[in-house]
């Protein structure tokens, strides 16, 4: 990390400014669009500042895991391509991309939003497999929140393909969508010095000492949390971060509609 | 010649936006310059940009595009590698530059010294390109007025094609932003801008640079920016050249960019130079120099 930039961000924060002029708890301008891909069962594109992410949902038929023969599966994958940020390299998934996909996955999974039992077609033989692919076109920070938000938008818009002889026919979609019992929204709060802020840009992410991602539901119930970064958090800070995340999730929920 | 004169015809107007392949003029009387070329008796554009008609010379000023290293340009480079005998810099262009030891500092550097104590990885420096070979090997120097290591602050990326407007005539635009915001400001020809000041003032400086970028092609920019900055800050702003831009370092808008042309050239503008490097060369700067 460019140490000078980190110091500069810190100095500005001490005077109450972010480098792009936002308030600490302010999100960048957000736009969500669904149905952007005709070949996916559900899709969404989210733009937030310079960050631009496409999420696609593929619904496939496959064999269930042997320990859960009557449950369908949910899988989230994040693909960080070099075209989205010069810091990324081609090759096997990086730690960042694995972490992003797992944190988004955990939010959706632990909220029990998708009833995996309802995805069963024939116990032990055939189940629906839901794959969520998060693909940043341009990565300027906050991949987890925006990927998770776009993921939920894409899941909401997803329609099952028609089942012909036990195989999906992707040319024809039914009107039936995924049954989502709730909408978890992840919000990441980063700690830089003594300041807590939401929606970090890429530079702010790199300057962050610690971060906490909180996925929550409409009533303020927490579904999952993930802490990252090297710095420690006091319990007081943790509570502040959760409060900030819940407050931000409320405004994001309105955008999701 | 009289016959050619009668046939010559300009097909576009001054300050038109032209696209590559567009026929600009017919006949032999008009002359192609930067961003235009002649094929048979027609002149075509090969860049998207604003067409400038200067007498009989046609050239385009590109609206966008990557920076290509050019001799005498003052740029902002980022250290990306420490070599045996110097530093490799990223120039925000397809070609990286080398800053050799002898051109890096006036200090005495001991044999085997730790080069990172002078310039470390990821640090930014203001430097001047003193050579671009036909193979696009770029050499830069830090010996000169205003050339230095940048400490603190932040780097802003701007459209390299708009840099001349951000600098203004003899640095007048830079000078206005400096007066209005009291920020330290250095603009590199390669589209990197270094900015350091109070956070609130920095935001104003960023805003004004973005405004210049957007409105670069609209005439009367300097006056408009002056009024805008005066309104924003409530300060009286004087229009004057910037001390960092003496007449001879004024950015040139003309001449081809990129590698040196082949063929005869006019007299060299700079003083004596090191040994010419046109002959066959060994591996480049991979081992210690003997």
Closest CB to A21 among B122, B124, B203: B203
CATH number at residue B38: 2.40.50.100
Residue B191 pLDDT > 90, yes or no? yes
pLDDT-based confidence at B251, cuts 50/70/90? very low
Query: Residue B247: what pLDDT?
Result: 52
- CA distance to partner chain A, nearest, from residue B122 (Å): 6
Q: Note whether B12 contacts A: Cβ–Cβ < 8 A.
A: no
Residue A249 pLDDT > 80, yes or no? yes
Q: Verify that B121 and B133 share a domain, yes or no.
A: yes
Report phi then psi at B241, rounded to 5. -70, 155
Backbone φ/ψ region at A21: left (φ over 0), alpha (ψ -120 to 50), beta: left
Query: Residue A234: what pLDDT?
Result: 94
Query: Residue B256: what pLDDT?
Result: 47
Q: Which residues pair with B39 in a beta bridge?
A: B42
Domain range holding B85? Answer: 74-150
Residue B231 CA to residue B214 CA, distance in Å, equals: 19
- Is B25 part of any domain? yes
Residue A207 CA to residue A229 CA, distance in Å, equals: 10
What is the distance of C-alpha B6 from the center of its chain? 39
Interface test with B, best of A1, A4, A14 (most B CBs within 10 A): A4
- Is B254 part of any domain? no
- Kindly state the average pLDDT of the residues B169-173: 88
Q: Are residues B67 and B93 in contact, defined by beta-carbon separation less than 8 angstroms?
A: yes
Query: Residue B62: what pLDDT?
Result: 85
> Average pLDDT, whole number, for chain B?
83
- Which residue is listed with tokens 């081609």? A90
- Is B117 part of any domain? yes
| Domain locations along chain A | 3-256
Q: Verify that B162 and B138 share a domain, yes or no.
A: no
Q: What is the ipTM of this complex?
A: 0.79
Query: Residue B235: what pLDDT?
Result: 81
Q: Note whether B21 contacts A: Cβ–Cβ < 8 A.
A: no
Q: Are residues A84 and A139 in contact, defined by beta-carbon separation less than 8 angstroms?
A: yes
Q: Verify that B135 and B183 share a domain, yes or no.
A: no
Report phi then psi at A59, rounded to 5. -115, 115
Overall CATH class of domain A3-256: alpha beta
Contacts of A2 in chain B (CB under 8 A): 122
Q: Verify that B221 and B237 share a domain, yes or no.
A: yes
CATH number at residue B205: 3.30.1370.10
- Is B67 part of any domain? no
- Kindly state the average pLDDT of the residues B98-106: 93
Interface of A with B in 10-39 (CB under 8 A): 11-12, 15-17, 19-21
Q: Verify that B110 and B187 share a domain, yes or no.
A: no
Q: Verify that B167 and B126 share a domain, yes or no.
A: no
Contacts of A24 in chain B (CB under 8 A): none
The length of chain B in residues reads 290
Residue B92 CA to residue A218 CA, distance in Å, equals: 46
Structure token digits, residue A105: 């996955």
Q: Is the pTM of this model over 0.95?
A: no
- CA distance to partner chain B, nearest, from residue A13 (Å): 9
Residue of B152, B165, B202, B156 whose CA lies nearest to B180: B202
- Kindly state the average pLDDT of the residues A21-34: 93
Residue of A192, A21, A139 whose CA lies nearest to B154: A21
Query: Residue B88: what pLDDT?
Result: 97
- Kindly state the average pLDDT of the residues A47-55: 95
Residue A179 pLDDT > 70, yes or no? yes
Contacts of B150 in chain A (CB under 8 A): 4
Answer yes or no: do B123 and A4 touch at CB < 8 A.
yes
Closest chain A residue to B150, measured at CA? A4
What is the distance of C-alpha B269 from the center of its chain? 18
What is the number of domains present in chain B?
3
- DSSP-based three-state secondary structure for A27: coil
Query: Residue B255: what pLDDT?
Result: 46
Residue B288 pLDDT > 80, yes or no? no
The last residue of one of the domains, among B94, B126, B150, is B150
Residue B80 CA to residue B90 CA, distance in Å, equals: 6
The last residue of one of the domains, among B150, B167, B190, is B150
């Amino acid at each position: 990390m460019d140490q000078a930039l980190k110091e500069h961000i810190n100095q500005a924060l001490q005077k109450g400014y972010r480098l792009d002029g936002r308030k600490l708890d302010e999100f960048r301008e957000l736009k969500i669009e669904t149905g952007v891909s005709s070949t996916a069962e559900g899709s969404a594109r989210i733009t937030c500042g310079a960050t631009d992410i496409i999420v696609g949902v593929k619904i496939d038929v496959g064999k269930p895991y042997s320990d859960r023969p009557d449950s369908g599966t949910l899988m989230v994958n994040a693909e960080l391509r070099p075209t989205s940020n010069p810091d990324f390299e081609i090759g096997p998934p990086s730690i960042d991309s694995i972490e992003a996909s797992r944190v988004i996955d955990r939010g959706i999974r632990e909220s029990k939003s998708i009833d995996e039992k309802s995805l069963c077609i024939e116990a032990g033989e055939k189940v629906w497999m839901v794959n969520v692919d998060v693909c940043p076109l341009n990565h300027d920070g906050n991949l987890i929140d925006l990927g998770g938000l776009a993921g939920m938008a894409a899941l909401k818009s997803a329609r099952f393909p028609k089942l012909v002889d036990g195989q999906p026919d992707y040319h024809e979609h039914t009107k039936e969508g995924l049954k989502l019992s709730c909408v978890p929204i992840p919000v990441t709060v980063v700690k830089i010095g003594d300041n807590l802020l939401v929606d970090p840009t890429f530079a702010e992410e790199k300057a962050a000492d610690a971060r906490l991602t909180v996925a929550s539901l409409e009533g303020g119930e927490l579904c999952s949390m993930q802490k990252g970064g090297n710095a420690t958090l006091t319990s007081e800070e943790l509570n502040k971060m959760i409060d900030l995340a819940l407050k931000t999730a409320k405004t994001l929920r309105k955008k999701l509609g | 010649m009289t016959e050619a004169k009668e046939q010559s015809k300009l097909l576009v107007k001054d300050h038109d936006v032209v696209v590559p392949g567009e026929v600009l003029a017919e006949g032999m009387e008009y002359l192609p310059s930067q961003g235009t070329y002649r094929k048979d008796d027609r002149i075509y554009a090969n860049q998207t940009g604003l067409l400038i008609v200067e007498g009989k010379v046609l050239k385009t000023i590109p609206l966008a595009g990557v920076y290509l290293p050019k001799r005498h340009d003052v740029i902002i480079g980022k250290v990306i590698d420490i070599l045996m005998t110097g530093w490799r810099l990223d120039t925000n262009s397809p070609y990286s530059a080398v800053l050799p030891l002898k051109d890096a500092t006036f200090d005495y550097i001991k044999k085997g010294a730790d080069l990172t104590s002078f310039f470390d990885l990821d640090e930014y420096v203001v430097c001047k390109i003193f050579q671009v070979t036909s193979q696009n090997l770029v050499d830069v120097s830090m010996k000169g007025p205003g050339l230095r290591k940048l400490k603190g602050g932040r780097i802003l990326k701007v459209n390299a094609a708009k840099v001349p407007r951000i600098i203004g005539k003899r640095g007048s635009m830079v000078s206005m932003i400096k007066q209005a915001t009291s920020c330290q400001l250095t603009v590199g020809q390669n589209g990197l801008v270094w900015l350091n000041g109070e956070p609130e003032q920095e935001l104003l400086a960023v805003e004004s640079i973005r405004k210049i970028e957007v409105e670069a092609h609209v005439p009367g920019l300097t006056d408009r920016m002056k009024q805008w900055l005066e309104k924003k800050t409530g300060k009286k702003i004087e229009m004057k050249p910037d001390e960092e831009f003496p007449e001879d370092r004024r950015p040139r808008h003309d001449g081809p960019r990129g590698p040196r042309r082949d063929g005869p050239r006019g007299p060299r503008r700079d003083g004596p130079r090191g040994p010419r490097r046109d002959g066959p060369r060994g591996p480049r700067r991979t081992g210690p120099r003997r």
